[in-house]
């Protein structure tokens, strides 16, 4: 028996597809000569209006070598290159942060018999969700427990996209675990899988129950306040006013952990500034995007609400939420942050996406905190009492004219009319305008009747906690391990979870601890 990858199996989109028949026709072989092991990838090609096509990649098994075909490639099994284990005598490594990086690090650790303790400054998911709802409806913000902080991380208030792909064993393991804890098996092969915000929360609840059953401990409303280094290691940490001395400290911080970044710097942990992206949210009617992408609205019944991913020399779209909502994602008082979210059915009449441009030291200046300070300046400048967000029609933004009336938008608590060209530095405004114009050329009518809501600033961390490439520990402390988005090593749910798993699976209990 031999395994092959079949690429470019293209089938006109329809409700029912016989993959065996389509494969046999493409290869000009009888169906009895092969077996479909699994679907590796399923994408939708919408480049031809009103004629969407499914594009499949399959894993096939043959009893005899098939005739040559340019789309049929023998599968080579990846060679394992295991990293050296990290042996610990304390079976309870401490993990700061209960986002994807922290949770998946813990999952990997329990596979090896450890029982990590997890800490987060925010609330358990249900209580956190209630506080976020109160913030959206009444403008009452809890700076410790909000869209950014708390069990589940920022992904618990998102579209639940699961889009990282590749042959990295850690990525494959993350998808396996997601399915194990309730995600549908189709996430393993869909080109653009998503769970929706309620799907992500259900998976988080399943992971928590499993970890508790395996002897882990969850400490909520438990903020990392300080730490001390001695002899090249973390000697002790301060959590909720109490000092203790963990053997191992894993930092699964989010990209909004500004107070933690400053504390780490004060204590001598090596950090560096890094580029990130910022901009605004564009909100459109989903039916309009369905027509532009598919060529007609009716295709959404088969294919789901249309999505898009657009790039231009000066910017790109990011985190597109079909049938979703623009949400308030602030974590600091008197500041406005926007993001996108949708539920699994993506049933809202509007869709939204970030339109962002990459920013570097040429935009925010030299210095460790300059990027973070630019984020904060924009967020505070956008604030109005009640956490209203500035909004403007796309056409007015391109004209550089202020908005006279409040645009219609899904954002809660509410929006106010503004001139977004004056919110950003001129160079950033110019790049965002140029990107928006280019998107209108790619999809004519793209920004007609669209509303822009700002600012989108928390796309990724402006700070990286430097770590050893091989051992994954901080360059400043042998027992300190930064992972995920806040560490500066990931950019989304899957990549963060994989970074956490990659570290966690290396931990082993030493003989003396058993």
Mean local confidence (pLDDT), 18-42: 94
Position 332 in a domain: yes
Residue 345, judged by CB atoms within 10 A of its CB (0-12, 13-18, 19+), counts as exposed
What percent of the chain has pLDDT above 90?
A: 92
Q: Confirm whether 402 is domain-assigned.
A: yes
- Choosing from 434, 456, 478, the residue where a domain stops is 456
Dihedral angle, C-alpha 204, 205, 206, 210, nearest 10 ° = 100
Alpha helices (H) along 385-425: 394-399
The per-residue pLDDT for 79 is 67
Q: What is the mean pLDDT of the chain?
A: 95
Give the gyration radius of the chain's Cα atoms.
24
Q: What does the pLDDT read at residue 454?
A: 98
- Is the pLDDT at 510 greater than 90? The verdict is no
Residue 21 · residue 60 · CB < 8 Å = no
Contact at 8 Å (CB) between 157 and 147? yes
334 and 383 in contact (C-beta within 8 Å)? yes
Q: Answer whether residue 345 shows pLDDT above 80.
A: yes
From residue 216, alpha-carbon distances to 93, 100, 103, 210, 484 in Å are: 10, 16, 11, 9, 20
Token representation of residue 75: 């599968």
Please check whether residue 404 lies inside any domain of the structure: yes
pLDDT, tens digit (0-9, with 9 covering 90-100), for 190-249: 999 999 999 999 999 999 999 999 999 999 999 999 999 999 999 999 999 999 999 999
> Per-residue pLDDT averaged across 397-416, rounded?
95
Note the pLDDT tens digit of each residue in 264-293.
Answer: 999 999 999 999 999 999 999 999 999 999
Would you say residue 514 has pLDDT above 90?
no
Residues 333, 349 share a domain: yes
Higher confidence at residue 408 or residue 514? Answer: 408
Q: Is the pLDDT of residue 254 over 90?
A: yes
CATH number of 92's domain: 3.50.50.60
155 and 240 share one domain:
yes
Q: What is the mean pLDDT of residues 346-374?
A: 97
Is the N-terminal amide bond of 413 cis, ω within 30° of 0?
yes
Look at residue 146 and tell me if it is in a domain: yes
pLDDT computed for residue 76 by the predictor: 80
pLDDT for the residue numbered 327: 96
pLDDT digit string (tens) for 66-98?
Answer: 989 999 999 886 666 678 999 999 999 999 999
CATH number at residue 53: 3.30.70
Mark whether 255 and 280 lie in a shared domain: no
User: Which of 102, 96, 101, 152 lies closest to 124 in space, CA to CA?
Assistant: 152
257 plus 366 within the same structural domain: no
Judge whether 461 lies within some domain.
no
What distance in Å separates the CA atoms of residue 354 and residue 425, rounded to the nearest whole number? 18
1, pLDDT greater than 80: no
Q: What is the pLDDT of residue 375?
A: 98
State residue 370's pLDDT score: 98
* Domain final residue pick, 412, 436, 456: 456
In a shared domain, residues 344 and 486:
no
437 in a structural domain? yes
CB atoms within 10 A of CB 188: 18
Residue 411 is part of which domain span?
A: 276-456
Number of structural domains found in the chain: 3
Residue 81 resides in a domain: no
- Whether residues 289 and 428 share a domain: the answer is yes
Other beta carbons within 10 angstroms of residue 215's beta carbon come to 14
Distance CA 172, CA 167 (A): 7
Asked whether the predicted pLDDT for residue 118 surpasses 60, the reply is yes
Helix or strand or coil: residue 209?
A: helix
Angle (CA) 280 284 286, round 5°: 135
Quick one: pLDDT at residue 511?
A: 66
Residue 384: pLDDT over 70? yes
**Cβ(99)–Cβ(154) under 8 Å?**
yes
380 and 312 housed in the same domain:
yes
Rounded Cα distance between 233 and 218, Å, is 24
Residue 207 falls in which region: left (phi positive, over 0), alpha (psi -120 to 50) or beta:
alpha
Q: At what angle do helices 100-111 and 196-213 cross, to 10 degrees?
A: 30
**pLDDT tier, 155 (very low <50, low <70, confident <90, very high otherwise):** very high
At 455-497, the pLDDT tens digits run 999 999 999 999 999 999 999 999 999 999 999 999 899 999 9
Q: HSE-up of 284 (CA within 13 Å, CB side)?
A: 27
Does residue 104 share a domain with residue 68?
A: no
* Same-domain status, 164 and 44: no
Strands 325-328 and 338-341: antiparallel
Flag whether 80 is in a domain: no
Give residue 324's pLDDT: 96
**Residues 306 and 366 reside in one and the same domain:** yes
Query: What is the pLDDT averaged over residues 323-330?
Result: 96
Q: 247 with 374, same domain?
A: no
**Residues 281, 202 share a domain:** no
Strands (E), 256-337: 271-273, 276-285, 311-312, 315-321, 325-328
User: Of 28, 53, 74, which marks where a domain is finished?
Assistant: 74
Nearest of 129, 297, 295, 145 to residue 200 by alpha carbon: 129
């Amino acid at each position: 028996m031999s395994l092959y990858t079949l690429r470019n199996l293209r089938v006109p989109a329809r409700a029912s597809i016989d993959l065996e028949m389509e494969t046999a026709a493409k290869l000009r072989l009888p169906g009895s000569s092969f077996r479909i092991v699994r679907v590796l990838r399923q994408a939708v090609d919408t480049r031809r209006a009103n004629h969407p096509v499914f594009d499949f990649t399959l894993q096939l098994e043959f009893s005899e070598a098939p005739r040559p075909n340019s789309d049929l490639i023998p599968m080579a099994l990846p060679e394992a290159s295991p990293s050296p284990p990290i042996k610990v005598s304390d079976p309870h490594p401490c993990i700061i942060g209960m986002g994807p990086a922290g949770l998946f690090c813990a999952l990997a650790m329990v596979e090896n018999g450890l029982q990590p303790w997890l800490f987060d400054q925010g609330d358990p998911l249900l209580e956190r969700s209630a506080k976020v709802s109160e913030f959206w409806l009444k403008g009452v913000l809890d700076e410790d427990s909000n869209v950014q902080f708390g069990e589940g991380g920022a992904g618990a208030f998102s579209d639940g996209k699961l889009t990282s792909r590749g042959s990295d064993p850690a990525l494959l393991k993350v998808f396996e675990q997601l399915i194990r804890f309730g995600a549908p098996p189709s996430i393993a092969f869909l080109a653009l899988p998503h769970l929706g915000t309620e799907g992500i929360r259900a998976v988080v609840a399943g992971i928590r129950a499993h970890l508790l059953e395996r002897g882990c401990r969850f400490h909520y409303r438990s903020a990392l306040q300080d730490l001390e280094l001695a002899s090249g290691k973390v000697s002790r940490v301060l959590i909720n006013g109490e000092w203790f001395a963990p053997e191992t400290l894993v930092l699964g911080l989010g990209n909004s952990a500004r107070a933690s970044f400053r504390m780490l710097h004060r204590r001598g942990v090596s950090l560096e500034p890094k580029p990130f992206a910022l901009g605004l949210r564009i909100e459109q009617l989903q039916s309009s995007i369905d027509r532009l992408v598919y060529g007609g609205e009716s295709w959404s019944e088969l294919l789901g609400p249309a999505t898009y991913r657009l790039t231009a020399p000066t910017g790109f779209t990011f985190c597109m939420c079909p049938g979703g909502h623009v949400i308030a994602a602030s974590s600091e008082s008197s500041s406005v942050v926007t993001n996108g979210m949708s539920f699994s059915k993506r049933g809202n009449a509007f869709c939204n996406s970030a339109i962002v441009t990459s920013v570097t030291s040429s935009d925010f200046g030299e210095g460790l905190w300059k990027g973070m300070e630019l984020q904060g300046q924009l967020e505070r400048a956008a604030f109005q009492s009640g956490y209203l967000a500035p909004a403007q029609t796309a056409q007015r933004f391109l004209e550089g004219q202020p908005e006279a009336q409040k645009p219609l938008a899904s954002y809660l608590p509410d929006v106010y009319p503004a001139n977004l060209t004056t919110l950003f530095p001129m160079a950033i405004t110019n790049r965002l305008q140029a990107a928006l114009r280019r998107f209108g050329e790619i999809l004519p009518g793209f920004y007609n009747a669209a509303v822009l809501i700002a600012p989108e600033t928390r796309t990724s961390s402006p700070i990286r906690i430097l770590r050893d490439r091989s051992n994954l520990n901080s360059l400043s402390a042998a027992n300190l391990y930064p992972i995920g988005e806040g560490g500066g090593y990931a950019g989304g749910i899957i990549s963060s979870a994989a970074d956490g798993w990659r570290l966690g699976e290396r931990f082993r209990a030493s003989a003396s601890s058993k």
